[in-house]
Structure 1
Amino acid sequence: MGKKLSGKDLIKLGFPKNNSINITLGQINRYHKRLKKEQVLQQAALVLANPEEYIGDGVWGKIAESLTDPVVVKKQTLRSTRVPHMVYGENEIDDQAKYQLYDALKLPVAVAGALMPDAHSGYGLPIGGVLATDNAVIPYGVGVDIGCRMSLTLYPIKISYLKGKKHQLVNILSEHTKFGMYETHKNKHDHEIFSHHAFKNIPLVKRLKDKAYKQLGTSGGGNHFVEFGSVQITDPNNEWDLAPGEYLSLLSHSGSRGLGANIAKHYTYLATKQCPLPKHVQHLAWLDLNTHDGQEYWIAMNLAGDYAQACHDNIHARISKLIGARPLANIANHHNFAWKQEIDGKECIVHRKGATPAAKGELGIIPGSMTAPGYIVRGLGNPDSLQSASHGAGRLHSRRKCKEKFTQSAIKKELAAHDVTLIGGGVDEAPMAYKDIKKVMANQQELVEVVGTFTPKIVRMDK
């Protein structure tokens, strides 16, 4: 018997001469390379005898599925017509973003869609795209930064602190926030998230646990930030019984770091193999939620979302301790995620790629830019937007265009005009790169109502 497992070995064991052999060899090669051939064959024999007992197992579950209810791979074509949809602020959105949504609306699994007023083109779904599907999840409909979210903490500290203690606040953000691929905190904190069953049961996720532990409480590059500013509460009937007025606040924007990026990459690859689509829409490949991979992605995606929340909680806890204040309130929301939601009486999967959940009464945060206000909003539950709103102002210029168009001196001038201190940040994140947040908000008055306004003053971004 040769040292390497082959299809002939599996056939000799009793495996049917079908795709279950390729799937078994693939899984063994990916996750059990170091096991001796005899051990692998013993385990494979047990799975073959009772495949039902292994459904859901991280390694053998996919093999069990191939023996009991194999995934049918067939070339998919787009419908000739689009499912119902709404576009908000249509005149402010580039055509490419609209066409990307229109393609998604023709998917065989599509149920309904919407485009938010901050939309611009991306991969798969456009940024600002919302898509409801029937029992299918599209990894690139969620995005690479799974669970990217906003978190805002209000403190019982006078606004004068922003000027009087500016030096200390700048130091806190400079020394105690970490950005990009390589920066991590010297003093690592543990978190209950690391006892999640997926870190034991899903091989890919298990391999990412160390990275996730190291990156806890850190922020990504690009448009991610941690910033001090003031919140003006305007609604006297707010959820926290706070008196209308100004409050010192901390706002953060980041996601699930390397954990989410690797989950997105892995399951997007699996989706493209199981759901071949025409080349121009291949990023919209989906996973059936009744399959092993679909279920596994759903668990991994939710874990990544919980991990993103844990990162924000860690950032806010560290800074709250440093400024010596107990929070009055915290508002937070994801904007790169998929949720189970009822649409016209049927449970669907609603993807929001760069869109804020806005169910009736649901709170969220819609930031502007480093020199423009952000908004605390309450959802109006509009069914036409699939209960969604924008996730920010949205980009007016691409990163490449920013480097051609703007200079550091122009950015400094803009920051000075708004009395904003910036730590880090590149030309590609210039305040002028973004759309007018006030126009964006005007285009979604039927989606959310404003509860309060955030004005950034000290902004920390990746270098």
Structure 2
Amino acid sequence: MLATDNAVIPYAVGVDIGCRMALSVFALPPKFLSQRVQELQKLLLDNTRFGNRTGFDRGKKLGHEVLESDTFQAVPFLRNKQATAAEQIGTSGSGNHFVEFGVVDITDPTNEMGLAVGQYVGLLSHSGSRGLGASVANHYTKLAMENCQLPNEAKHLAWLGLDSELGQEYWAAMTLAGDFASACHHQIHHRLAKALGERPLAKVENHHNFAWKERMADGREVIVHRKGATPAGRGVLGIIPGSMTAPGFIVRGRGVAESLGSASHGAGRLMSRTRAKQELGEAQVRQYLRDHDVVLQGGGVDEAPMAYKDIHAVMQSQQELVDVLGSFTPKIVRMDGA
């Protein structure tokens, strides 16, 4: 993450603008997951869509106010993006994006979610702004590099001033992409909650790959870019995921100024995708998942749990940044792929 003065760096926001985690907690016991494995697998297959394939059939599409945003017409670059956004709303990307059922274990009675200490069924999703965000990122990163020419080794730091027309355009487009990413998660959780016949007791949502206007301790307003980091301001709730076989953590930020009020957005990769494909076999990964009692639909060896860092070590290294309120342990996972 980094902070700038009245300027935004599109590359420092990232390609998948507004990528986020969203958690719903249901008043169901953990044994529900082991008793309904096949049923829950079918719910995930029926109510999620991944990757670049078509979205939901016309009769199953859900509308959302974000699709009617004036920004689609106000920003010239976005005028032909509305149809694609309407096609992809409520869907998830490929790569490390997922929707999964698991066990929520609340350990802190002061969790601010109104949940008693104990275990629940949870639904966790990770995805971003799909084709809309990617097109915005690529377009304005190119324009920033053309309008703010830096040495080659620093070209990705090219910025757009927020007092410029291009800067204002990007900020509006970035904000819309973030709102679109949030709308996708809301639809995913709405569909699955309805299919379960349950209303969530609590929800938590936090995002990364975004820029925020915030004030420093000395009162200066800055633009905080969090690419691969998530807000951890004082009292801010979030989820920091591990891997398919490791818990994620529900956290409350401490607002540490030295970290710009931020924390990691996940465990992070131990192996590159290429290395994982070279060193890990599908049979090995499937056995590893079985050993950890995890059912996976889709996915590939590049997303194997062994390709990720130890989340416990990651959380230990940022214990000054967040308080842990509970955990989420994946059990039934849906990702892109057959």
TM over 0.5: yes
Identical amino acids, percent of aligned pairs: 59
Aligned equivalents of 1:174, 1:161: Cα separation in 2: 18
Contact 2:54 2:87 in 1 (8 A): no
Residue correspondence of structure 1 range 349-388 to structure 2 within 5 A? 349-388=223-262
Q: Which residue of 2 aligns with 1:133?
A: 4
How many angstroms does 1:240 deviate by? Answer: 2.4
| Alpha-carbon displacement from aligned partner over 1:40-74 (angstroms, at most 9, x marks no partner) | xxxxxxxxxxxxxxxxxxxxxxxxxxxxxxxxxxx
The one-letter code of the counterpart of 1:321 is K
Q: Which residue of 1 aligns with 2:314?
A: 440
Of residues 112, 120, 124, the one that matches 1:239 is 112
Q: TM-score, normalised by structure 1?
A: 0.71
Q: Which residue of 2 aligns with 1:251?
A: 124
CA-based RMSD: 0.7
Q: Which residue of 2 aligns with 1:115?
A: none
Aligned equivalents of 2:303, 2:115: Cα separation in 1: 33
Of residues 20, 26, 43, the one that matches 1:149 is 20
The one-letter code of the counterpart of 2:176 is L
Q: Which residue of 1 aligns with 2:302?
A: 428
Of residues 164, 185, 189, the one that matches 1:291 is 164
The one-letter code of the counterpart of 2:285 is I
| Alpha-carbon displacement from aligned partner over 1:128-174 (angstroms, at most 9, x marks no partner) | xx100011100010000000000000001121110111110011112
Match status 1:167 vs 2:42 = no
Of residues 295, 301, 313, the one that matches 2:174 is 301
The one-letter code of the counterpart of 1:156 is A
Aligned equivalents of 1:202, 1:351: Cα separation in 2: 22
Note the residue ranges of structure 1 that are not aligned, 5 or more in a row. Answer: 1-129
Aligned equivalents of 1:134, 1:363: Cα separation in 2: 26
Aligned equivalents of 2:89, 2:271: Cα separation in 1: 31
Q: Once structures 1 and 2 are overlaid, which stretch shifts more, 320-329 or 155-164?
A: 155-164
Aligned equivalents of 1:458, 1:309: Cα separation in 2: 22
Equivalent residue pairs, number: 334
Q: 3-state DSSP class of the match of 2:73?
A: helix
Q: Which residue of 2 aligns with 1:412?
A: 286
Q: 3-state DSSP class of the match of 1:207?
A: coil
The one-letter code of the counterpart of 2:16 is D
| Alpha-carbon displacement from aligned partner over 1:95-114 (angstroms, at most 9, x marks no partner) | xxxxxxxxxxxxxxxxxxxx
Aligned equivalents of 1:353, 1:436: Cα separation in 2: 20
Match status 1:261 vs 2:134 = yes
**Greater RCO (Cα-Cα under 8 Å, separation 6 or more):** 2
Q: 3-state DSSP class of the match of 2:79?
A: helix
Of residues 74, 77, 93, the one that matches 1:220 is 93
Q: Which residue of 2 aligns with 1:459?
A: 333
The one-letter code of the counterpart of 1:342 is R
Aligned equivalents of 1:303, 1:132: Cα separation in 2: 21
| Alpha-carbon displacement from aligned partner over 1:425-448 (angstroms, at most 9, x marks no partner) | 011101101000000000001000
Aligned equivalents of 1:281, 1:225: Cα separation in 2: 33
Q: 3-state DSSP class of the match of 1:416?
A: helix
Q: 3-state DSSP class of the match of 1:226?
A: strand
Of residues 96, 99, 102, the one that matches 1:229 is 102
| Alpha-carbon displacement from aligned partner over 1:264-285 (angstroms, at most 9, x marks no partner) | 0110111001100111221121
Aligned equivalents of 2:12, 2:220: Cα separation in 1: 20
Residue correspondence of structure 1 range 41-120 to structure 2 within 5 A? none
Aligned equivalents of 1:411, 1:440: Cα separation in 2: 23
Q: 3-state DSSP class of the match of 1:219?
A: coil
Aligned equivalents of 1:153, 1:457: Cα separation in 2: 15
Q: 3-state DSSP class of the match of 2:289?
A: helix
Aligned equivalents of 1:268, 1:261: Cα separation in 2: 11
The one-letter code of the counterpart of 1:413 is Q
Stretches of 4+ aligned residues off by more than 6 angstroms: none
Aligned equivalents of 2:89, 2:67: Cα separation in 1: 10
Contact 2:150 2:158 in 1 (8 A): yes
Q: Which residue of 2 aligns with 1:36?
A: none
The one-letter code of the counterpart of 2:310 is D
Match status 1:206 vs 2:79 = yes
Aligned equivalents of 1:416, 1:132: Cα separation in 2: 43
Q: 3-state DSSP class of the match of 1:249?
A: strand
Which structure has the larger Rg over C-alpha atoms? 1
How many angstroms does 1:189 deviate by? Answer: 1.1
Aligned equivalents of 1:395, 1:164: Cα separation in 2: 32
| Alpha-carbon displacement from aligned partner over 1:295-318 (angstroms, at most 9, x marks no partner) | 010011011001000000000000
| Alpha-carbon displacement from aligned partner over 1:171-200 (angstroms, at most 9, x marks no partner) | 111222100012311121110111211012
Q: 3-state DSSP class of the match of 1:261?
A: helix
How many angstroms does 1:333 deviate by? Answer: 0.6
The one-letter code of the counterpart of 1:163 is S
